[in-house]
Amino acid sequence: MLINKLLYWIIILYIVFIFYSYFDVGEKSIQGQTMGTYYIIKYVSKISNPSWKELHNNIDFNLKQINNQMSTYITKSELSQFNKFKFINTAFPVSLSIITVIKKALYINKLTDGALDITIGPLVNLWGFGPKKKNIELPSKKILKLYSKWIGIDKFTIKGNNLIKKIPQLYIDLSSIAKGYGVDIISEYLESKNIHNYMVNIGGEIRTKGHNGKGILWRIAIEKPSNKLLEQSVQKIIKPGNMSVATSGSYRNFFKKNGIYYSHTINPKTKKPIIHNLISITVIAPTCMMADGLSTGLNVLGAKKGMKLAKHLNLPVFLIIKTNKGLEEHYNSAFKTYLVK
């Protein structure tokens, strides 16, 4: 009788083991490198198909494909080849992905009154923040005037899956929006595999859905600004729900010349790095591509204009402003609902 009971419990435990091996409710993690930064993906799934390895391989494949399409750091990428193309009024075929991202960037350009401008590439390179970073002398007014003739969304057109230059110097840079697009693509891939609880993070651009392994909404930390690479602390914690988060800041990527700090973010109107007291802005939007592009555009506009536009768009934003008294937080009512108290 004792043997039968023991055998009974062994069978029950074996079934439970098999059940939880197949229907794993734990939180899994996939991470790697892409777009010159890192990516971290966490997800919760009750099914074992596809396997962790298959997901990892397909995620790497998708991100590599995006990089080979849109990177200005890869000389053979589609975008790099287009930037090298000097013929005007001539169709240059590109992938549908590039057209999708550029059209969204043009839409955000209009929303931000030109603050987000993907043709800013020549100036990014001129100020030493492009693929060939180097210590530079500050560009003269004459050089800035020359380069300004190459900037503007009116310098190219889209026809089908083709880009057409109006000037040979046109150079498109999608770094302000490509990571967000990558986050959206990976999120859509997870959805296609019946994974509906996840957090996708590419270099700080994030999209969440559902809950984490503990069954609660994903929590995301907004970093406290610091120019020390190894110094990281939390400014605020938010719960985005089924939304995306992107942060733009000037406290990491900059150079100092003659006592002045020059940010990597270029203002298309002044043709110079932004100089204002807004050092970090976080935007929440339905897609990460939108959040990514808007965070850059609003960062260029500055605190006052950026908050005014956010109010007009009913866009949740969180600002960190540097004052004589230290760092100050400012956020609108739309953002307040996402704060973890």
CATH of the domain at 307: 3.10.520.10
The answer to the question of residue 158 being in a domain is no
The tokens of 336 are what? 């307040």
Average pLDDT, the chain: 88
Helix axes 178-192, 52-70, angle to 10 degrees: 150
Residue 120's pLDDT is: 94
Domain membership of residue 202 as a residue range: 27-48+195-336
Q: Which of 166, 209, 203, 163 is nearest to 182 (CA)?
A: 203
261 by DSSP, 3-state: which? strand
Structural domains in the chain (count):
1
The answer to the question of residue 41 being in a domain is yes
The answer to the question of residue 164 being in a domain is no
The answer to the question of residue 292 being in a domain is yes
The model's confidence at residue 11, banded by pLDDT at 50, 70 and 90, is very low
Residue 258's pLDDT is: 65
The model's confidence at residue 64, banded by pLDDT at 50, 70 and 90, is very high
The answer to the question of residue 306 being in a domain is yes
The answer to the question of residue 315 being in a domain is yes
pLDDT at 24 over 70: no
Residue 273's pLDDT is: 87
Q: Which of 290, 330, 336 is nearest to 313 (CA)?
A: 290
**Cα separation values, 36 from 171, 218, 225, 326, Å:** 20, 25, 21, 31
Lowest mean pLDDT among 61-65, 229-233, 239-243, 246-250: 229-233
The answer to the question of residue 67 being in a domain is no
Give CA–CA dist 56/19, Å, rounded: 23
Residue 25's pLDDT is: 53
The model's confidence at residue 281, banded by pLDDT at 50, 70 and 90, is very high
- Report the length, in residues, of the chain: 341
The answer to the question of residue 229 being in a domain is yes
258 or 124: which leads in pLDDT:
124
